[in-house]
């Protein structure tokens, strides 16, 4: 007994992933004693993993482990989540790759458990069934997989204020760090409409090198006269690769309320590549709770998702904050407080023009988002994006929706939304910067009868969003074809701008919070299928001072 206790002290470690996450991941206790390799849980739900010394030597010599090494059955019926989490915990401790078993189908039931990924993982052609259809999962807020860093965040001392576009801060860091700063005394993004709210604390996220230089490709976008919290998270220098995997979520049947499900893959580490993953959704009925993103990317930088197949979620309705029925956003992709996030060669399983499914992406507080060679139902930036690019892509019925700053570039793409770009009215239809649109095709409302507008949005000038609202200072449109062949009988031709404020028809209208209008629109080779000329707007008064530079 004394020998066993001594070996337990020498070889055991409590493995708990920290990092920037809201969900407790639980402890994994790893031991290596002269017994067989086994996985079990204690009375508190902690995972107890014993790996025999013989297996330790074998796994380290191989350089990898499989889920079956830790008891996974892979039969599509037995809940394998404990074995999966144990395999990753051991792999993380010894810096080993994790592999699946050929032909396996791993069933994941209602259990509250997160498998923490800190090493390269090859899901291969294995299938994973995430069953949310039971009456109640143990914790809908807990991710199935968490891609995390072994590096720990720390409070950043000595920084009491920051300025927009500040190039350097007076700190010395261990290396490149992701800095997150908050001022809880200032509220931004005070939402208007059926989902109205009181806004969110002013926050920003940016990369700083060891000498305090800010990466100006993702600059600081707010002035911080005071700071209530500022943290730095060291960034992993190596790339973590996750490949393959055929995931299926059996959808929940919960009440249709804003009780988001997060039974997903959460990415909380910088420098990650996800390649060749597939996610499908089955079992959606006439009601259900929404999803917060099967790929949920947050508090990180330099993440690429490529060659990946995703699925839009059915749209359900509930009662919103204003006491009226609203459609609930439900996402397969969610990106929050993240920089330099790229989606490359990504598609979805359902029709991108099927309006019964919600748009596939939702994002907040991001910088440098990219779609490249994607066919997806929507691009969306709720609470702001600084710089975004869509190229070589096709977007479906929910099109492009955004507010933010910097440069928004759309090129070599086909857009099938109601407008070419919609500036979200619930956040003031604001874009402080410029739009560049080139070599594109715009099919208004996916070819349904419609009066086309290129730039959509609205702002009455009577609501305080927590910031001054702008339209893009300059809009450049080159080589755009508008397929407006299917239009109403009273169609006058496509408009550059929607009617942003129908009440503002002369100088007598007074804005309490003035909306800053575009200064210049540059048009080169804009053609229409209808043959009708491009107009300024149904409400030309608003845009009377805009300089229109045509061919």
pLDDT, tens digit only, all 551 positions of the chain: 333 333 333 333 333 332 222 223 458 999 998 789 999 999 888 999 999 999 999 999 999 999 999 999 999 999 999 999 999 999 999 999 999 998 999 999 999 999 999 999 999 999 999 999 987 899 999 999 999 999 999 999 999 999 999 999 999 999 999 999 999 999 999 999 999 999 999 999 999 999 999 999 999 999 999 999 999 999 999 999 999 999 999 999 999 999 999 999 999 999 999 999 999 999 999 999 999 999 999 999 999 999 999 999 999 999 988 899 999 999 999 999 999 999 999 999 999 999 999 999 999 999 999 999 999 999 999 999 999 999 999 999 999 999 999 999 999 999 999 999 999 999 999 999 999 999 999 999 999 999 999 999 999 999 999 999 999 999 999 999 999 998 888 899 999 999 999 999 999 999 999 999 999 999 999 999 999 999 999 999 999 999 999 98
Question: What long-range pairs does 167-171 form, CB within 8 A, spacing at least 24?
Answer: 167/213, 167/214, 167/216, 168/211, 168/212, 168/213, 168/214, 169/208, 169/212, 169/214, 170/212, 171/208, 171/212, 171/232
Does a structural domain hold residue 282? Answer: no
Rounded alpha-carbon distances, angstroms, from residue 483 to 82, 166, 399: 53, 44, 15
Does a structural domain hold residue 368? Answer: no
Does a structural domain hold residue 271? Answer: no
* Of 114, 139, 169, the domain-final residue: 114
Report which secondary-structure segment, H or E, holds 10. helix 2-11
Q: How many CB atoms lie within 10 A of CB 278?
A: 20
- Kindly state whether residues 44 and 164 are assigned to the same domain: no
- Kindly state whether residues 174 and 103 are assigned to the same domain: no
pLDDT at 487: 87
- Kindly state whether residues 437 and 532 are assigned to the same domain: yes
- Kindly state whether residues 21 and 109 are assigned to the same domain: yes
pLDDT at 26: 53
* Of 114, 140, 162, the domain-final residue: 114
Q: How many CB atoms lie within 10 A of CB 279?
A: 23
- Asked whether the CA dihedral 141, 30, 122, 178 is positive or negative, the reply is positive
Q: Say how far apart CA 48 and CA 176 lie, in whole Å.
A: 35
Sheet containing strand 47-50, edge to edge, reads 13-15, 28-31, 47-50, 38-41
End-to-end CA distance of the chain: give it in Å, rounded: 88
Pair type for strands 28-31 and 13-15: antiparallel
Does a structural domain hold residue 420? Answer: no
Give the three-class secondary structure for 436. strand
- Kindly state whether residues 461 and 515 are assigned to the same domain: yes
* Of 181, 216, 234, the domain-final residue: 234
Pair type for strands 361-364 and 38-41: unpaired
- Kindly state whether residues 217 and 104 are assigned to the same domain: no
* Spatial contact of 207 and 235, defined as CB atoms under 8 Å apart: yes
Residue 191, CB-side half-sphere exposure with 13 Å CA sphere = 15
Pair type for strands 474-482 and 431-442: parallel
Does a structural domain hold residue 135? Answer: no
Give the three-class secondary structure for 33. coil
Q: Say how far apart CA 31 and CA 48 lie, in whole Å.
A: 8
pLDDT at 136: 86
- Kindly state whether residues 523 and 471 are assigned to the same domain: yes
Residue with tokens 């989902």: 195
Does a structural domain hold residue 7? Answer: yes
Domain containing 159 equals 154-234
- Asked whether the CA dihedral 262, 263, 269, 272 is positive or negative, the reply is negative
What backbone phi and psi angles, to 5 degrees, belong to 83? -65, -40
Tokens of 541: 């008064």
What backbone phi and psi angles, to 5 degrees, belong to 448? -75, 160
- Kindly state whether residues 431 and 545 are assigned to the same domain: yes
- Kindly state whether residues 548 and 435 are assigned to the same domain: yes
pLDDT at 489: 86
Domain count, the chain: 3
Residue 419 is classified by DSSP as: E
Residue with tokens 């439900």: 330
Q: Cβ contacts of residue 273 below 8 Å, gap of 6+?
A: 239, 240, 241, 242, 303, 304, 306
Does a structural domain hold residue 48? Answer: yes
- Kindly state whether residues 87 and 175 are assigned to the same domain: no
- Kindly state whether residues 8 and 107 are assigned to the same domain: yes
Whole-prediction pTM: 0.94
Name residue 401's beta-bridge partners.
380, 422
Does a structural domain hold residue 100? Answer: yes
- Kindly state whether residues 98 and 163 are assigned to the same domain: no
Pair type for strands 28-31 and 177-188: unpaired
Using alpha carbons, select from 389, 422, 405 the residue that is nearest to residue 469: 405
Q: Cβ contacts of residue 135 below 8 Å, gap of 6+?
A: none
Q: Say how far apart CA 366 and CA 270 lie, in whole Å.
A: 14
């Amino acid at each position: 007994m004394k020998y066993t206790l001594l070996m337990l002290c020498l070889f055991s470690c409590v493995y708990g992933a920290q990092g920037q996450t809201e969900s407790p991941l639980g402890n994994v206790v790893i031991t290596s004693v002269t017994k067989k390799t086994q996985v079990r849980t204690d009375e508190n739900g902690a995972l107890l993993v014993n790996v025999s010394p013989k297996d330790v030597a074998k796994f380290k010599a191989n350089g990898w482990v499989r889920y079956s090494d830790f008891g996974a059955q892979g039969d599509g019926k037995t809940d394998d989540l404990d074995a999966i989490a144990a395999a990753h915990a051991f792999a993380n401790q010894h810096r080993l790759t994790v592999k699946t078993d050929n032909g396996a189908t791993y069933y994941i039931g209602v259990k509250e458990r997160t498998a923490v990924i800190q090493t390269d993982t090859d899901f291969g052609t294995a299938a994973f069934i995430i069953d949310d259809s039971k009456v109640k999962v143990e914790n809908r807020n807990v991710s199935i997989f968490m891609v995390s860093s072994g590096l720990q965040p720390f409070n950043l001392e000595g920084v009491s204020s920051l300025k927009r576009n500040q190039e350097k801060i007076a700190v010395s860091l261990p290396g490149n760090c992701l800095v997150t700063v908050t001022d809880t005394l200032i509220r931004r993004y005070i939402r208007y409409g059926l989902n109205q709210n009181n806004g969110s604390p002013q926050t920003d996220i940016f990369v700083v090198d060891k000498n305090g230089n800010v990466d100006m490709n993702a600059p600081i976008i707010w002035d911080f006269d005071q700071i209530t919290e500022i943290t730095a998270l060291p960034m992993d220098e190596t790339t973590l690769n996750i490949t393959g995997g055929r995931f299926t979520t059996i959808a929940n049947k919960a009440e249709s309320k804003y009780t988001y499900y997060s039974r997903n893959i959460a990415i909380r580490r910088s420098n990650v590549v996800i390649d060749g993953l597939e996610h499908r959704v089955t079992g959606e009925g006439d009601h259900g709770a929404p999803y917060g993103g099967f790929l949920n990317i947050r508090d990180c930088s330099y993440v690429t998702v490529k060659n990946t197949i995703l699925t839009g979620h059915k749209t359900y309705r509930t009662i919103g904050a204003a006491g009226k029925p609203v459609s609930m956003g439900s996402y397969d992709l969610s990106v929050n407080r993240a920089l330099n996030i790229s989606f490359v060669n990504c598609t979805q399983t359902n029709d991108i023009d099927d309006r019964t499914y919600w748009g596939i992406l939702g994002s907040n507080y991001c910088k440098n988002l990219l779609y490249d060679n994607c066919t997806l139902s929507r691009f969306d930036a709720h609470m702001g994006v600084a710089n975004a690019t869509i190229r070589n892509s096709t977007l479906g019925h929910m099109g492009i929706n955004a507010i933010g700053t910097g440069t928004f570039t759309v090129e070599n793409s086909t857009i099938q939304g109601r407008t070419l770009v919609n500036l979200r009215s619930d956040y003031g239809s604001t874009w402080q910067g410029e739009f560049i649109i080139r070599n594109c095709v715009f099919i208004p409302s996916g070819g349904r009868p419609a009066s086309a507008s290129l730039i959509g949005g609205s702002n009455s000038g009577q609501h305080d969003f927590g910031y001054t609202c702008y339209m893009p200072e300059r809009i450049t449109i080159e080589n755009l074809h508008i397929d407006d062949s299917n239009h109403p009988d009273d169609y006058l031709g496509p408009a550059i701008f929607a009617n942003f404020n129908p009440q503002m028809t002369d100088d007598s209208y007074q804005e309490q919070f003035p909306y800053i209008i575009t200064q210049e629109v540059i048009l080169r080779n804009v053609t229409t299928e209808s043959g009708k000329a491009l107009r300024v707007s149904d409400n030309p008064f608003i845009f009377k001072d805009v300089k229109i530079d045509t061919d």
